[in-house]
Amino acid sequence: MSRAVRPGERRGYFGPYGGQFVPETLMAPLAELAAAWRKARRDPEFQREFRGYLRDLVGRPTPLYFARRLSAAIGGARIFLKREDLCHTGAHKINNSLGQILLARRMGKRRVIAETGAGQHGVATAAMAAAFEMECVIYMGRVDMERQALNVYRMREFGAEVVPVTAGQQTLKEAISEAMRDWVTNVRTTHYVLGTVFGAYPYPDLVRDFQSVIGREARRQCFKQAGRLPDRVVACVGGGSNAMGLFSGFLEDPGVALIGVEAGGRRIAPGEHAARFAGGKLGVLQGARTLVLQDEEGQILPTHSVSAGLDYAAVGPEHVWLRDQGRATYHFVTDEEAVNAFDGLCRLEGILPALESAHAVAYVLREGSKWKPEDVVIVNLSGRGDKDLQLVMDWKARHARSGEASSS
Ligand SMILES: *Cc1c(COP(=O)(O)O)cnc(C)c1O
C-alpha cells in the first residue's frame, strides 16, 4: 500500500524534508502511533474493516466521470473527474478521518481531537467519531468559525465540542497548535486526527496511505474506461492530501505527469496568496521541515486564498521531494480563475465543485487547449461546493463593486 523505506532513506524523511520537529513530550506518542499504524497496515483484518466502511459508510468507490462538455469546451483532451465530491460529508477528507478513527479505536483511545480550517476535516472527523462512539473535540480559529458557521453547527449536531481558537490570525495554523497542546496533555486517552499529509512523521505517510484509495481506484477505472493510463493527473494542493492520494496511484508510472495546483490568491506577493512553491522557503513548521511562506526573519507570513482549504503557509513534505526529483510539477491559479472555474463546471457539467477543487479545474481550463485531443487527463474533484455558495456570492458582489469603482 505504501512504499517501504528505501536503502539510504531515513524513516520519516522524504529526502531532506519531513522529520519530527516536535517537543520532547510528543516523541513517545508519535512513536506509539507509528508502530500501531505499521502493524495495522499489514493486518488483513484491519484492511478488511477499513475497506468495508469505505464502501458502505463513505460510499466508495467514487465514480470516474467523463466530463464530455468540459472536454469539448477545452478542445484539447479527454477530461475525467474523480468524484470525491460524492463521498459522505462532501469531500475526500473522510477517507483519512475514518482510517485514523479505526486506528485510534484499535489503540484503545476513546477520545479524538482534530484541527479544522474551513470545517470539512472537522465535519468528517465529528461524523466518524459519532459512528464509532468516541468523544470528539474540534479546534477551530474564531475567524474560521464565523466564516463557516454552518459547518460548526454540523459538527455540534454530530456531538462534537467545537473550541474557538483566538490566538494569532485565528485560523488553521493556530488551531493546529492548539490541538497539539491538547494532545500533549491528554495523550494517554486521546488520538490526534491530523487532516492532511503534514506535520511530524508518521502523519504524512499515514494520511497518504489512507487517501491512496483515490489513486488506486482512479488507475483501475482509467484502464477500464479510457483503455490506458492517463497522460496527466491534476489535483489542488492545500496540505496536499487529496493530491498525494491521487498521485500515489501513479508514482511508478513515469509516463503520467503529476500536477499540483496551489492557491495564487490575489497575486504572488507576501500575504496575498498561499502558493508555497511560488513564494516559499525551506523552514520548519508544526513538526515538519518543508517549504514555508515566511519573511526574511523566518516569521510565518499571513496567507490568503478565496478557498479556506488551500489557505495555509506550508505544504506536505513529500510534495517538495517530488518536485525536487522532477516527478511532479506545481502551478498556481488566482482566486478569480478559481471562481470562474467554479461557474464553468456548474454550467458545463451541472456539478458544483468545492472552491479548492475549482483550482484544479481552473488549471485545466487555462492549459487544456495546449494538449492533444486524444490525451487522457484525470482531475481530482476533491469536494463539493455547497459549503462555498455564500462565499462565491460575496466574492462576486465585492468584485462587481470594485470593478465599477476602478472603471469610473
Ligand atoms: C481540505 C480540502 C482540500 C485541501 O486539503 P488537501 O490536504 O490539500 O487535500 C482540498 N479540497 C477540499 C474539498 C478540502 O476540503
Walk along the chain (408 residues) in steps of 10 and give the mean pLDDT of each run.
53 94 93 97 98 98 98 95 98 98 97 94 98 98 89 97 93 92 95 97 98 98 98 98 98 98 97 96 96 95 93 96 98 98 98 98 97 97 95 93 58
Evaluate if pTM is beyond 0.85. Answer: yes
Degrees, nearest 5: CA angle 52-58-60: 70
* Cβ 322 under 6 angstroms from ligand 1: no
Question: Is residue 382 annotated as a catalytic residue, yes or no?
Answer: yes
What pLDDT is recorded for position 147? Answer: 80
- Please report where in the chains the cell 496540505 appears, as a residue: 239
274 CA distance to ligand 1 centroid (A)? Answer: 13
Give the residue carrying C-alpha cell 469539448. Answer: 72
Burial of 185 (0-12, 13-18, 19+ CB in 10 A): exposed
Does residue 93 have an active-site annotation? yes
C-alpha cell at 172: 488553521
| Residue whose grid cell is 487529496 | 242
Ligand 1 centre distance from Cα of residue 292 (Å): 18
Residue 151 to residue 206: CA distance in whole angstroms: 26
pLDDT value for 285? 95
Per the listing, cell 505504501 goes with: 2
Ligand 1 pocket residue status of 303, Cβ below 6 Å = no
Ligand 1 midpoint to CA 339 (Å)? 16
Q: Does 383 contact ligand 1 (Cβ within 6 A)?
A: yes
71 in ligand 1 pocket by Cβ < 6 Å? no
> In the prediction, which pLDDT does 1 show?
39
Q: How far apart are alpha carbons 377 and 257 in whole angstroms?
A: 9
Whether 115 is a known active-site residue: answer yes
Q: For position 397, what pLDDT does the model report? A: 95
What is the per-residue pLDDT for 300? 93
**What is the model's pLDDT at position 76?**
81
| CA 193 to ligand 1 center in whole angstroms | 15
Q: Hey, which bits of 266-375 come out as E strands?
A: 281-285, 287-292, 328-334
Ligand 1 contacts CB of residue 261 (under 6 A)? no
